[in-house]
Amino acid sequence: MGYRTHTNGELRAENIGETVTLSGWVQKIRDKGFMIWVDLRDRYGITQLIFDEERTSKDVMEIASGLGREFVIQVKGDVIERESKNPNMNTGDIEILVSEIEVLNASLTPPFTIEKETDGGEDLRMKYRYLDIRRAPVRNNLMFRHKVTMAVRNYLSDKDFIEVETPYLIKSTPEGARDFIVPSRMNEGQFYALPQSPQTFKQLLMVGGMDKYFQIVKCFRDEDLRADRQPEFTQIDCEMAFVEQEDILQTFEGLTRHLLKEINGVTVDEFPRMTYDEAMRKYGNDKPDIRFGMEFGELNEVAQHKDFNVFNSAELVVGIAIPGGNEYSRKDIDKLIDWVKRPQVGAKGMVYVRCNDDGSYKSSVDKFYDEEDLAKWAKKTGAKAGDLICVLSGDASQTRAQLSALRMEMATRLGLRKSDEFAPLWVIDFPLLEWDEETERYHAMHHPFTSPKPGQMELLKNDPGAVKANAYDLVLNGNEIGGGSIRIFDKEIQSKMFDYLGFTKEEAKAQFGFLMDAFQYGAPPHGGIAFGLDRLVAILGGQETIRDFIAFPKNNAGRDVMIDAPAVLDEEQLEELHLKVTAQP
Ligand code: ASP
């Protein structure tokens, strides 16, 4: 029967005595001359083949002895009981005594070992990604991703969502990140852009009456590369009509809960909700990891009454209690101080308080503060005997970010960020606008289609920074896995918003005229959310890097080293595209 009767992950003791045909790749060969064992691999697993001088014909023996790693072969043989069984393998009870063999394709010696553990470095494995995909860990990740996307599709489809494709060749818009640009051959001097997200299209689908939309879709952002970011990535993009924020939160909490149950077998209670302001105050971060405590204690009240100028001149004095940290030696603490002073963190220094077992305190600022003061700090940070209180101070938002970095680092060191523990939460009431130091103007924090909270439109004039939006993020284990908002659906309000964001009437019309036009033809109230699929899959899979869950990822420099892209174009192609290139790499 064709190339195979079974896969290489399928045969068990029950099959002993059957004659089978298998196909696959040669993973490993052990050749003793009179006896040859081969591990035959495919997507489903590994089956051991045996060639035995006494039981296998000479021709077949000869072919077997000429095999190399990664040859593609087809074999026929009998399933026999294995002498030394391997309990770590599904097929470990049996082996195949081969009677016929055909080499379907030879292989060069692979540049790295294609086994669970490999000797191949990152770059080499990226260059030969198709070989890396043969390895179980990579293959399993791709299969895991498939399982997640299928669960998403089924869940949403069951809830009446319809998957609609939106175009990839669209128009460049200045808000948000930088666009990837595609020159138009047929329209000299004109360009398409690749979508950063299908945002405006999904809103138009709501105007079009689709009611519930989703799409598992590629998005493109030409941003400076940060660790573990991909210039093209996948979103689960969703939009609903006739909804308020509560409807969206319920629906997508449902989806997330379904995934955790379906994929991880984990049941989670109702997701906690936290306002953006509270998240910043308690964790210094709008995507707090709440698998562990170490909440911030603000200390201004109890630390700015003495002669310690560093604290007195600070906008914010804030600390965390590190569980068991009093065990650290002076040297350990000095190292910690160096850690927060690294440019990546940027603190100027760190004050610490040892919480001794006898209830006394010893601090690095004993000159200024007495036991009574320190006891108050301990109370504010929730420190117990045996803990170490770490205190940072300075500009409020910078200090919060620095302490948040320390909190995450300490949690990692203390093993508090367990990959099999899941702590989702909603962060709500995001500010509508964000001040941008560089351009010295306000930007939409989420995007310009986000609706302010009811009754806050007026605030826009006097105190734009204080306006809160109907915008929410879904956070899982310290990662933003989804974000969305209730949209503006009124032409006048949308046009006012563009105004506030510094668009001239002409610019707004040129860039978003189509949306505002559509709003004049009966746009329903609507809102939505988009999940970062790559990150979501990685977290559910209990791993750190999204690259491990993408079949053909780009490297840290945004290059595909396998196909060698980006690349130069030849003159003719450039001419056709009406492009002049002045610099060649
Ligand atoms: N389009 C938004 C984003 O990519 C998500 C949304 O508002 O639905 O962040």
Read off the pLDDT of residues 339-360 as tens digits, 9 standing for 90 and up. Answer: 999 999 999 999 999 999 999 9
- 585 falls in which pLDDT band (50, 70, 90)? confident
Mean pLDDT (whole number) for 516-526: 97
Distance 480 CA to ligand 1 centre (A): 12
AA identity, residue 508: A
Q: Is 484 in the pocket of ligand 1 (CB under 6 A)?
A: yes
* 118 inside domain: no
Residue 196 CA to ligand 1 centre (angstroms):
9
Q: Do 355 and 234 reside in the same domain of the chain?
A: no
Strands (E), 437-521: 441-444, 471-476, 479-486
* In the predicted structure, residue 226 carries a pLDDT above the cut 60: yes
Q: Are residues 296 and 218 in the same domain?
A: no
Ligand 1 midpoint to CA 433 (Å): 15
Q: Over the stretch 239-256, which tens digit does the pLDDT of each residue have?
A: 999 999 999 999 999 999
Ligand 1 touching residue 197 (CB < 6 A): yes
Is 425 close to ligand 1, i.e. is its CB under 6 Å away?
Answer: no
Q: Are residues 228 and 251 in the same domain?
A: yes
Q: Which domain holds residue 93?
A: 13-105
149 and 163 Cβ atoms separated by less than 8 Å: no
Q: With a cut of 90, say whether residue 227 has pLDDT above it.
A: no
Residue with CA nearest ligand 1 atom 8: 529
**308 and 382 in one domain?**
yes
Asked if residue 469 belongs to a domain, the reply is yes
Asked whether residue 510 is assigned to any structural domain, the reply reads: yes
Domain shared by 429 and 405, yes or no: no
pLDDT of residue 442: 87
Q: Do the Cβ atoms of 354 and 369 come closer than 8 Å?
A: no
Q: What share of the chain in percent tops pLDDT 70?
A: 99
What would the pLDDT profile of 284-334 be if each residue is shown by its tens digit?
999 999 999 999 999 999 999 999 999 999 999 999 999 999 999 999 999
Ligand 1 pocket residue status of 199, Cβ below 6 Å: yes
Domain check: are 100 and 157 in the same one? no
Residue 566 sits at the vertex; the CA angle it makes with 550 and 482, to the nearest 5 degrees, is: 35
Please tell me the predicted confidence (pLDDT) of residue 455.
85
- pLDDT-derived band at 106 (thresholds 50, 70, 90) equals very high
Domain annotation covers residue 580 = no
| The domain boundary residue, chosen from 56, 87, 105 | 105
Given this model, what pLDDT does residue 174 score?
67
461 Cβ contact partners less than 8 Å away, ≥ 6 residues apart: none
CATH code of 33's domain:
2.40.50.140
Q: State which ligand 1 atom lies nearest to the alpha carbon of 485.
A: 7
Given a contact cutoff of 8 angstroms between Cβ atoms, the answer to whether 541 and 141 are in contact is yes
Q: Is position 485 within any domain?
A: yes
**199 CA closest ligand 1 atom index:** 1
How many angstroms separate the alpha carbon of residue 261 from the centre of ligand 1?
25
Quick one: 266 and 297 in the same domain? no
Quote the CA–CA distance of 104 and 107 in Å, as a whole number. Answer: 10
Q: Is the same domain home to 399 and 438?
A: no
> Is there a domain that residue 73 lies in?
yes
- Ligand 1 midpoint to CA 428 (Å): 15
Which pLDDT belongs to residue 189? 94
Check if 474 has its Cβ closer than 6 Å to any atom of ligand 1. Answer: no
- Expressed in angstroms and rounded, the spacing between residue 110 Cα and the centre of ligand 1 is 42
How many CB atoms lie under 10 A from the CB of residue 41? 23
Residue 553 CB–ligand 1 contact under 6 Å: no
Question: What's the pLDDT score for residue 224?
Answer: 85
pLDDT at 490 over 70: yes
Residues 569-583 have a mean pLDDT of: 91
State whether the beta carbon of 200 lies less than 6 angstroms from ligand 1. Answer: no
Is 413 in contact with 292 (CB distance < 8 Å)?
Answer: no
Of the given ranges (23-32, 154-163, 256-265, 489-498), which has the lowest mean pLDDT?
A: 489-498
pLDDT at 1: 55
Residues 436 and 542 in one domain: yes
The four Cα atoms 277, 283, 285, 290 give a dihedral, to 10 degrees, of -110
- Helix ranges, 470-532 (H): 491-500, 505-518
Contact 245, 470 (CB under 8 A): yes
Q: Is 471 in the pocket of ligand 1 (CB under 6 A)?
A: no
Range scoring the smallest mean pLDDT among 51-55, 439-443, 510-514 = 439-443
Any ligand 1 atom below 6 A from CB of 527 = no
- Ligand 1 site-directed mutation target among 205, 235, 252, most atoms within 8 Å of CB: 235
Helix (H) or strand (E) holding 297: strand 297-298
Output phi, psi for 22, to 5 deg.
-125, 150
Mind giving me the DSSP string for 373-421? Answer: HHHHHHHHHT--TT-EEEEEEESHHHHHHHHHHHHHHHHHHTT---TT-
To the nearest whole number, what is the mean pLDDT of the chain?
95
Centre of ligand 1 from the C-alpha of residue 246, in Å = 17
Higher-scoring residue by pLDDT: 521, 459: 521
pLDDT of residue 436: 84
Strand 351-355, strand 297-298: pairing: unpaired
Residue 582 placed within a domain: no
pLDDT at 440: 84
Q: Please name the residue whose Cα sits nearest to atom 1 of ligand 1.
A: 199
DSSP 189-208: T-EEE--S-SHHHHHHHHHT
* Residues 368 and 376: beta-carbon distance below 8 Å: no
Q: Dihedrals φ, ψ of 89, to 5°?
A: -120, 140
> For ligand 1, is residue 345 a contact (CB within 6 Å)?
no
Identify how many contiguous H helices and E strands the chain contains and give both numbers. Answer: 17, 22
Determine if ligand 1 sits within 6 Å of the CB of residue 448: no
How much distance in Å is there from the Cα of 266 to the middle of ligand 1?
A: 27
Query: What is the predicted pLDDT for the residue at 475?
Result: 98
Residue 383: give its domain's CATH number.
3.30.1360.30
The CATH number of whichever domain residue 214 belongs to comes to: 3.30.930.10
Task: Assess whether pLDDT exceeds 90 at residue 554.
Answer: yes
Do both 430 and 533 map to the same domain?
yes
Q: Domain ends where: 391, 413, 435?
A: 413
Asked which of 389, 413, 437 is the last residue of a domain, the reply is: 413
Question: Would residue 581 count as lying in a domain?
Answer: no
Does the pLDDT value for residue 367 go beyond 90?
A: yes
Q: How far is the CA of 177 from the centre of ligand 1 (A)?
A: 12
Among 173, 201, 237, the mutation site with the greatest number of ligand 1 atoms within 8 A of its Cβ is: 237
Distance 183 CA to ligand 1 centre (A): 26
Distance (angstroms) between ligand 1 centre and the Cα of 483 equals: 6
Interior angle at CA 35, CA 32 and CA 40, nearest 5: 100
CA dist 351 → 281, 282, 347, 379, 523 (Å): 19, 19, 11, 16, 56
Answer yes or no: do 526 and 450 share one domain.
Answer: yes
**What is the distance in A from the centroid of ligand 1 to the CA of 241?**
15
**Largest Cα–Cα separation, the chain:** 93
Regarding whether 258 and 155 lie in a shared domain, the answer is yes
199-209 per-position pLDDT tens digit = 999 999 999 99
Give me ligand 1 centre to Cα 541, in Å. 24
For the segment 255-288, what is each residue's pLDDT rounded down to a tens digit?
999 999 999 999 999 999 999 999 999 999 999 9
- Give distance in angstroms: CA of 553 to centre of ligand 1: 22
**CB of 528 closer than 6 angstroms to any ligand 1 atom:** yes
At 458 the pLDDT is 81
528 CA from centroid of ligand 1 (Å): 8
- For residue 496, pLDDT beyond 80: yes
pLDDT in tens, 115-145: 999 999 999 999 999 999 999 999 999 999 9
- Number of domains forming the structure of the chain: 3
pTM of structure: 0.94
Q: Answer whether 511 contacts ligand 1 (Cβ < 6 A).
A: no
| The pLDDT of residue 175 | 62
Q: For ligand 1, atom 7, name the residue with the nearest CA.
A: 484
pLDDT tier, 53 (very low <50, low <70, confident <90, very high otherwise): very high
Nearest ligand 1 atom to the CA of 239 is: 8
Q: Where are the beta strands (DSSP E) in 82-137?
A: 94-105
Work out which ligand 1 atom sits closest to the CA atom of 219: 4
Ligand 1 pocket: which of 446, 481, 534 to mutate (most atoms <8 Å of CB)?
446
Q: Which atom of ligand 1 is nearest to the CA of 471?
A: 7
Buried b (16+ CB within 10 A) or exposed e, 349-369: ebbbbbbeeeeebebebeebb
Ligand 1: does its nearest atom lie under 6 Å from the Cβ of 20? Answer: no
As a whole number of Å, the CA-based R_g of the chain is 30
Closest CA to 545 of 92, 138, 47: 138
Question: How far is the CA of 395 from the CAs of 22, 150, 311, in angstroms?
Answer: 67, 46, 11
